[in-house]
Amino acid sequence: MDRIDLLVTGIGRLITPPGDAPRCGHQMKEVHEIRDAGIAIHEGRILFVGTAQEVMSLLANVEITATINVGGRMVTPGLVDPHTHLVHGGSREHELALKRSGVAYLDILAQGGGIHSTVQSTRAASEQDLITKAWRSLNEMLLNGVTTVEAKSGYGLTLLDELKQLRVAKRLNDTHPLDIVSTFMGGHAVPLAYKGRAEAYVDLLVREMIPEVAEAGLAEFCDVFCELGVFTIEQSRRILLKGLEYGLHPKIHADEIEPLGGAELAGEIGAISAEHLLAATDQGFAAMAEHGVIPVLLPGTSFNLGLAKHARAREMIDTYELPVALATDYNPGSCPTESIQIVMMLASLNLKMTPEEILTACTLNAANALGRGGDIGSIEVGKRADLTIFDAPNLAYLPYHFGINHTYGVIKNGHVIVW
C-alpha cells in the first residue's frame, strides 16, 4: 500500500463495540475506547485503526490523499436504524385530535384509519412523490448520524403497490448516500377490500405476492404485524415461512400491544429479529435467547403512543442475555420521527439502558438485525468506513443533553458527506 484515500485524525475518543457478532446481555456494556485515535481509510473501508501515533507510524511511507481533523471530538460507528417504514405517502396529523381524545391505536385502525389512511395516500402517490418525501427523511437520518437504514413496504397491500414501494426503496438505495435495506411487509394490515376475509388476503400473500417480490429481488426480509385484530400467530407463521421458502429472512412485529406469542414464534421459526415486544412474556424472551433472535426495541413508539408500558429491556439484557437493538420505527402513525437521537434518549429514560448499551444497540446489534454484522456496525479493520462524529464529550452526553442534534460529521463509505 503506497497511498490511502483518507486519514481521520484528532479523534478525542473513538468508541465502538468490538467484532462482528451481536453483543449479548452484559457484553453490550463492554465497548472499546481509544483516546487520541486515528483511522486510515482506503477504497471505502477501514485500513488501520489505533492511536494516532500507531496509525501514523503505519503510514510512514504512505501517500495520504486527504486528511480531516475532527478537533478532539467523539467518533463512533455510523448508526444503523434497523426498523423503519421509510417509504409512504402523506401524513396523519389529522388523527392527532382523535388520539388525544383517547382513541387507541388499534381502534383507529379497526375504524379504517391508521395504516389504512396511509395505504390510501401511498397508492395515490407517484414513485417520484414517494422518492421526494423519503429523500428528505433520509437526509434527516443522515444528519442524525445514521448511515444504514432498513425500509419496510406495507402501505401498498396489493402486489403492484407493494412493488412500487419496494422499487422506490431500491432507487433511493441506488441514489442516496445512505444504504437502504428492504423488507417486504405485505402483512402490515388486512386491506379494507379484504375486511373480514383475512385468510383470503393471507392466501394472496403466500400464493402470489411473496413469490413475485422474491422473483423481483426487491427485498431481503419479510415482516408481519402479528397483533390482535391484525394477523394471528397462525397467519403470521404461514406468511413468514413462505417468505423463508423464497429466501426472505423473517422479521416480526411481535407482542406490541397484546401478548399473542409473537416472540415465541420468532424463536420457533428462527427469525433474525422480533420488534416492539412491550407485551412479550418470559417464555417469549427465553425462546428468542435460545434461537438467537435479536430484539429490536422501539421506545419512540411507546412514547408517542403515550403508553405507560415499556419494553422490558433490563430483563432482556440482564436475565436473558439478549442482544438488544434499537430503532426509530419511523412511520406516519405510531412514530413520526426520523430521530435516532431521540430514541437514544428514550432508551435511557424509559428502558433504563446505559449509554454503552445504547451505542451497541444502535450500531453492532442493529447491524446484525439486518444481517450485516460482518460489514458495518463497528470500527474494525476491513469494515466499511461508516463513521459518525459527535460534538459531545462522552457517550452519556448523547441521551443526557436531549432534543438537539449532536452530529458534527458523517463519513459514509469513506466519503465525508456531512461536515
Which residues would be at the binding site for Fe ion (CB under 5 A)?
Answer: 329
Q: Give the integer Cα–Cα distance in Å for 416 and 247.
A: 35
Pick what 224 binds: ligand NIG, Fe ion, none; C-beta below 5 to 8 Å, kind-dependent: none
Stretch that binds ligand NIG, among 29-37, 94-102, 213-221, 326-334 (CB under 6 A): 326-334
Interface residue with ligand NIG among 27, 118, 304, 328 (CB under 6 A) is: 118
Stretch that binds ligand NIG, among 23-31, 36-44, 164-172, 327-335 (CB under 6 A): 327-335
Pick what 334 binds: Fe ion, ligand NIG, none; C-beta below 5 to 8 Å, kind-dependent: ligand NIG
Residues 6+ apart with CB under 8 A from 106: 227, 228, 229, 230, 257
Residue corresponding to grid cell 394471528? 232
Residues 6+ apart with CB under 8 A from 101: none
Asked whether position 326 contacts ligand NIG by CB under 6 A, the answer is no
Pick what 373 binds: Fe ion, ligand NIG, none; C-beta below 5 to 8 Å, kind-dependent: none
Asked whether position 121 contacts ligand NIG by CB under 6 A, the answer is no
**150 annotated among ligand-binding-site residues:** no
Site mask, ligand NIG, residues 225-244, x = CB under 6 A?
x-------------------
Q: Quick one: which of 312, 370, 333 has its CA closest to 80?
A: 370
Q: Give the integer Cα–Cα distance in Å for 286 and 282.
A: 6
Q: Which residue is nearest to ligand NIG (CB)?
A: 333
Query: Cβ(241)–Cβ(187) under 8 Å?
Result: no
**334 annotated among ligand-binding-site residues:** yes
Distances (CA, A) of 71 to 159, 187, 268: 51, 48, 49
How many of the chain's residues bind ligand NIG (CB under 6 A)? 13
For Fe ion, which is the closer residue by CB, 179 or 329?
A: 329
Residues 6+ apart with CB under 8 A from 119: 155, 156, 157, 161, 189, 191, 192
Could you list the residues known to form a binding site for Fe(3+), using ranges.
Answer: 83, 85, 253, 329
Chain residues binding ligand NIG by CB under 6 A are 85, 114-115, 118, 225, 253, 256, 301, 329, 331-334
